[in-house]
Structure 1
Amino acid sequence: MRYLPLAFLPICVAFAIPALIQAQSEVAPDWSHLGDPHLQIVPRSEAERARVAGVTAPPADFSQALAFEENGGGAGTVRARMNADAFSQPMANLAFEEELDFRVGNGLFRRLWVSPPASTIASDGLGPLFNARSCQRCHIKDGRGHPPEGPDDNAVSMLMRVTIPGGPLSEIEGYLATQPDPVYGGQLQDRSLAGHPSEFRMQIEYEEIEVPLSGGAVATLRQPTYTMADLGYGPLHPDVMFSPRVAPQMIGLGLLEAIPAQDILAGADPLDADGDGISGRPQVVWSVEFDQPMLGRFGHKAGMPTLRAQNAGAFSGDIGISSPLNPALWGDCTEAQAACRTAIHGDNPEQNGFEIDEIGLDLVTFYTAHLAVPARRDVDAPEVLRGREVFHATGCAGCHTPSFVTHRQEGDPATSFQLIWPYSDLLLHDMGDGLADHSPEGRATGREWRTAPLWGIGMTETVSGHTYFLHDGRARSLLEAVLWHGGEAQSARDAVVEMPPEDRAALIAFLESL
């Protein structure tokens, strides 16, 4: 066991990685062209703009809860169930007929796909290479995934993305060119159909690291080392870059999608013009759906602009299922994996040649867009109120923006003009060497991650049966997650280390109330 200040910890991996790609300098960026073509927007009036500015302003009084603060998901918030179904409820403001679409979408989300050819075309098309047989298998009970907890743990809620430097440039300024591994593609699949070797087996070893805290306490962190064992198709490219990803929780995604892009962009400060040490940058990606650049919102590095695109990408990469947005019947298989590409697939004329057609993809998207945020607990408790004050005083709210108001829109009244409390700015931030994966994605460098929403984080153990946090599940508690923060969050992390123990406990109590 080592005993070191976290600020000096190097990232430890079991493979060679290229040098860190530094963020490109930007001069007076203009993002006014980035809109929300995925929504049917009703523009806000001046009176509404003023109202929104008022309700999303930082609290002036920390002695009491704010109005509607316990309803993190706006009018769609549901009561907090103290069981594993807490994240699986439809938004409270769905219309009766919409609940039917929600239930059907849930069925598709839970569906176990089978190898082709099958007697039921609705479930046909798994693989040939895959990580899971259903969406629910990674997002168990719509909650947070976890890394394997031992050599015999067959958990599939953790993925390993792989890229190499180079590849085609993009029209998007600041884009960091990468390309898939020429043999293994963009993601390693640890499962396969009969007759096809799986791509790898993940091994993780942890080194325990002690971090001294004020008051004589000591926190213990675990630093992961990853090994890609049993490679099924020969060696990986020598310049390969790895990025481990644990499946995130699913609540409130449609509300995140409905936040105005310009409201998110208003929080970006790539040159740190205000001098607070926080330099949030937007992820900008090319949308295949809308044939234009869009703000990235979904994924650990905000690599997807819409929930529909995120779902289609997961169907393709994780399960090997084709859709209108990802039509390749073989999923992530490369030209070097010829047997995978020429295998029997689940395409069928009754589904327009896809393995999940547009209707099915839209139903899954409706389901994932309308999973309700549970109400906060103990919002008026003195320790929670003190913890909220500490959260703001230490600068946590500089990235974890407490609240937004969604677009007023047609077509989806449940997510329209809602005051929500996601505790995320949905921007990219440099989190330092400790959390770096050194694997760029789009405009995100190997040190940058999208700010994770915090709503529902206090119910992780209730839903998922564990308290593993961060992009790779290395943190075993909320305190450990805070202590891994570096880069732009280094000063806030140091403040938590040095603050009186009772304030640190209050901060954790506040986070557990979310």
Structure 2
Amino acid sequence: MKKSGPTPFYPHPLSKLPGKRQGAFFAFIQGAFLITASSCATAMDYDLATQKQSGGDTTVPATHAGAFSLNSANMSSRRKGDFLIGNDFFEDPWVIAPATTDLRDGLGPLFNVSACQSCHFNDGRGHAPANASDDADSLLIRLSRPARNAEEQALLNKPEVANLGDPVYGGQLQDRAIPGVSPEARIEVSYSEETVSFADGFKVSLRRPQWRLRNWAYGDPADDLTLSLRVAPPVIGLGLLEAIPQADIEALADPQDSNHDGVSGRPNRVWDVEQKAQTLGRFGWKAGQPTVKQQTAGAFNGDMGLTSSLFTADHCTDAQSACKKAPNGADENGIEIRDDILDFVAFYGRNLAVPARRNIEDSVVQTGHRLFREAGCNACHNESFVTAKLGKDHIEQSEQTIFPYTDMLLHDMGPDLADLKLNGSPAPADEVVEHDATATEWRTPPLWGVGLSQVVNAQATYLHDGRARTLLEAVLWHGGEAQQSRDKVLAFKADDRDALVKFLESL
């Protein structure tokens, strides 16, 4: 986020890393696309009626608990049937194989949840466990470790390799299992409260999580393991984010902070399984997936233990013999989710509509929008895009003026929000954890719909690990590239704080 005058520069580790972390793409970004967010259109360049329609013609006028579960407003009645089929497979639980319902069997053997809806409650964001006895129902932990030698570094440099997982526990911790198979570990958290003071003396209590993994079922994990905590994000507007022209996202990148504003966003470069090519990452907390379909297939595989034509293997390692011997729901092609079912669920996710903004004409909300920009928040939370012209299969998302409040880029958010080592310390800022994304980098999350988060799910929490209970808490955890914006917010008096929050609640 921006600030005028001299600001700290957080150089990205990209320039230090070998292989796929450098090369032609990096040079291309440096040479061709060094423009700043301030030179792009902002929401204020549009009239209020246009701004209100956050998702363009797909926008729905909803404010109730089901506001995130509606189809694109411009969807034809013929296509609504496909949306409803996708909803069924998103919402209903998958079961252990063999079962009479062979269209949705094959759960596990290791898994986190049995249904997409379990994490994305009402298609919204999840929440962190409240305490050590609370289950991690909508949170998962990705596992990675640094390369230990030249051979492992060469493997990590391959564009199709996201990271190096634990030799025993793989790339994602599964804390549930089918009968006869042991869950990998139990996730527990406790919190300590910390007070942050505004310039006028107003105090806010922040909770700092302390994560612990108990009852490792298959022996100790690697001692150099890194844990990436991730609460389920809302799944609205995904098709619109997929439809943003790649060049428009790349145009916002400034990996070496050439304009000296303290913000140095960069794209993640990931592997497209279907295209067998490296491309722009768009989805997930680290922008680790390129398409809605691949994000969907990856969640089925990692979170539920379900194979598809995109991800054909379960996550049983050699140390997990009972997992390897367990029954599965694979068909004659060796997969558990048919291609047509995967396509229905991806279509559903692509067409979950963004609700319209509320109270946009309110003068306090408009003041909050101005303060949002003055604090430099829009340097990362880029306000608007126009989607590409698309064919009939993606007609709802074609040529829409949208207001997602994200640049889709990775930003260094500082050590307080970094991924963690096993002892709870922040992982090094230059440690790669998912394709090009490092331990301190996170994709700017879209803010559209954020004001309805706790209407859709009363337990919803904010930030990647769910530590923030309120929107103001989320702002106050910002560090790294966003530290300067946080510091500006800390100078706000009561009326300005209230206006900023009311603006966020209007999104």
User: Do Structure 1 and Structure 2 share a fold, with TM-score over 0.5?
Assistant: yes
Offset at residue 462 of structure 1 (A): 0.3
Structure 1 residues 35-91: Cα deviation after superposition (integer angstroms, max 9, x where no partner): xxxxxxxxxxxxxxxxxx999623668xx9534000001101001232x21100001
Q: Which residue of 2 aligns with 1:275?
A: 260
Question: Which of 72, 96, 99 is residue 80 of structure 2 equivalent to?
Answer: 99
Q: Which residue of 1 aligns with 2:190?
A: 205
Q: Which residue of 1 aligns with 2:202?
A: 217
Q: Which residue of 2 aligns with 1:284?
A: 269
Offset at residue 104 of structure 1 (A): 0.2
**2:472 corresponds to 1:482:** no
Q: Which residue of 2 aligns with 1:29?
A: 27
Q: Which residue of 1 aligns with 2:486?
A: 493
| Alpha-carbon distance in structure 2 between the residues aligned to 1:375 and 1:403 | 14
Q: Alignment partner of 1:159: what SS? A: strand
Whether the 8 Å contact between 1:165 and 1:177 is mirrored in structure 2 is: no
Offset at residue 274 of structure 1 (A): 1.0
Whether the 8 Å contact between 1:283 and 1:442 is mirrored in structure 2 is: yes
Q: Which residue of 2 aligns with 1:431?
A: 413
| Alpha-carbon distance in structure 2 between the residues aligned to 1:326 and 1:442 | 17
Structure 1 residues 353-407: Cα deviation after superposition (integer angstroms, max 9, x where no partner): 3111110100000000000000000001000000000011110000000000000
C-alpha distance 235-21 of structure 1, shift in aligned 2 (>3 A):
farther
**2:293 corresponds to 1:308:** yes
Structure 1 residues 93-118: Cα deviation after superposition (integer angstroms, max 9, x where no partner): 01111100000000011121111111
Whether the 8 Å contact between 2:329 and 2:336 is mirrored in structure 1 is: yes
Q: Which residue of 1 aligns with 2:377?
A: 396
Q: Alignment partner of 1:161: what SS? A: strand
Offset at residue 23 of structure 1 (A): 4.3
**2:485 corresponds to 1:504:** no
Q: Which residue of 1 aligns with 2:327?
A: 344
| Alpha-carbon distance in structure 2 between the residues aligned to 1:198 and 1:360 | 27
Offset at residue 144 of structure 1 (A): 0.5
Instruction: Write the letter of the residue equivalent to 1:449.
Output: W
Q: How does 1:52-451 map to 2 (within 5 A)?
A: 57-58=41-42, 66-82=48-64, 84-166=65-147, 167=152, 168-172=155-159, 178-328=163-313, 331-349=314-332, 352-411=333-392, 412-437=394-419, 438=427, 440-451=433-444
Q: Which residue of 2 aligns with 1:3?
A: none
Structure 1 residues 231-278: Cα deviation after superposition (integer angstroms, max 9, x where no partner): 111111111111110000010000000000000000000111111111
C-alpha distance 338-357 of structure 1, shift in aligned 2 (>3 A):
same
Instruction: Write the letter of the residue equivalent to 1:182.
Output: P
C-alpha distance 327-278 of structure 1, shift in aligned 2 (>3 A):
same
Whether the 8 Å contact between 2:266 and 2:410 is mirrored in structure 1 is: yes
Whether the 8 Å contact between 1:145 and 1:246 is mirrored in structure 2 is: yes
| Alpha-carbon distance in structure 2 between the residues aligned to 1:118 and 1:280 | 48
Q: Which residue of 2 aligns with 1:463?
A: 456
Query: Over the residues paired in the alignment, what is the CA RMSD in angstroms?
Result: 2.3
Q: Which residue of 2 aligns with 1:454?
A: 447
| Alpha-carbon distance in structure 1 between the residues aligned to 2:40 and 2:52 | 14
Q: Alignment partner of 1:492: what SS? A: helix
Instruction: Write the letter of the residue equivalent to 1:75.
Output: D
Whether the 8 Å contact between 2:42 and 2:382 is mirrored in structure 1 is: no
Instruction: Write the letter of the residue equivalent to 1:298.
Output: F
Instruction: Write the letter of the residue equivalent to 1:29.
Output: A
Whether the 8 Å contact between 2:190 and 2:211 is mirrored in structure 1 is: yes
List runs of 5+ in structure 1 lacking aligned partners: 1-19, 35-52
Instruction: Write the letter of the residue equivalent to 1:252.
Output: G
| Alpha-carbon distance in structure 1 between the residues aligned to 2:401 and 2:38 | 11
C-alpha distance 468-282 of structure 1, shift in aligned 2 (>3 A):
same
Identity of aligned residues (%): 48
Instruction: Write the letter of the residue equivalent to 2:179.
Output: A
| Alpha-carbon distance in structure 2 between the residues aligned to 1:231 and 1:147 | 21
Instruction: Write the letter of the residue equivalent to 1:186.
Output: G
| Alpha-carbon distance in structure 2 between the residues aligned to 1:403 and 1:23 | 27
List runs of 5+ in structure 2 lacking aligned partners: 1-10, 17-21, 420-426
Q: Which residue of 2 aligns with 1:42?
A: none
| Alpha-carbon distance in structure 1 between the residues aligned to 2:351 and 2:375 | 33
Instruction: Write the letter of the residue equivalent to 1:185.
Output: G
| Alpha-carbon distance in structure 2 between the residues aligned to 1:403 and 1:60 | 10
Structure 1 residues 286-326: Cα deviation after superposition (integer angstroms, max 9, x where no partner): 21110111100000000001111111111111101110001
Q: Alignment partner of 2:220: what SS? A: coil
**Equivalences, count:** 468
Q: Alignment partner of 2:195: what SS? A: strand
Instruction: Please identify, of 331-340 and 262-271, the stretch whose mean Cα deviation from structure 2 is larger.
Output: 331-340
| Alpha-carbon distance in structure 1 between the residues aligned to 2:415 and 2:497 | 24
| Alpha-carbon distance in structure 1 between the residues aligned to 2:105 and 2:187 | 27
Q: Alignment partner of 2:99: what SS? A: coil
Offset at residue 154 of structure 1 (A): 2.8
Q: Which residue of 2 aligns with 1:6?
A: none
Instruction: Write the letter of the residue equivalent to 1:108.
Output: F
| Alpha-carbon distance in structure 1 between the residues aligned to 2:452 and 2:31 | 38
C-alpha distance 32-414 of structure 1, shift in aligned 2 (>3 A):
farther
Instruction: Write the letter of the residue equivalent to 2:129.
Output: P
| Alpha-carbon distance in structure 1 between the residues aligned to 2:456 and 2:322 | 40
| Alpha-carbon distance in structure 1 between the residues aligned to 2:304 and 2:59 | 31
Instruction: Write the letter of the residue equivalent to 2:27.
Output: P
Offset at residue 178 of structure 1 (A): 3.5
Whether the 8 Å contact between 1:431 and 1:447 is mirrored in structure 2 is: yes
| Alpha-carbon distance in structure 2 between the residues aligned to 1:98 and 1:371 | 13
Whether the 8 Å contact between 2:29 and 2:253 is mirrored in structure 1 is: no
Offset at residue 21 of structure 1 (A): 9.5
Offset at residue 228 of structure 1 (A): 0.3
Offset at residue 124 of structure 1 (A): 1.3
Instruction: Write the letter of the residue equivalent to 1:334.
Output: T
Instruction: Please identify, of 145-154 and 469-478, the stretch whose mean Cα deviation from structure 2 is larger.
Output: 145-154
